[in-house]
Amino acid sequence: MSTKLTLTLDNDVIVNAKQYAKENGISLSKMVEHYFKGISKNSLSTKENIPPITKELSGYAKITSANSDK
């Protein structure tokens, strides 16, 4: 089952992510899904198990509090 998720990201991150997705024939949704699967506790036992796309995208996004711009 898929559920819609709305994210607020820096515009440069979005532009770069869209370009990466286009160049690699993958949707942004799938990129985010793979990233979250890759960092979940249940799917990682060591750093060697990190999927390549997760390694490549590490550092592109910064998680902040929803109230950070207030």
- DSSP string over the chain: ----------HHHHHHHHHHHHHHT--HHHHHHHHHHHHSTTT-SSGGGS-HHHHHHTTS-----TTTT-
Amino acid 17: pLDDT: 92
Amino acid 68: pLDDT: 54
The tens place of each residue's pLDDT in the chain, 70 residues long, gives: 899 999 999 999 999 999 999 999 999 999 999 888 888 765 555 556 666 776 676 666 666 666 655 4
Please list, in sequence order, all residues whose beta carbon lies within 8 angstroms of the beta carbon of residue 31, skipping any fewer than 6 positions away: 17, 20, 21, 53, 57
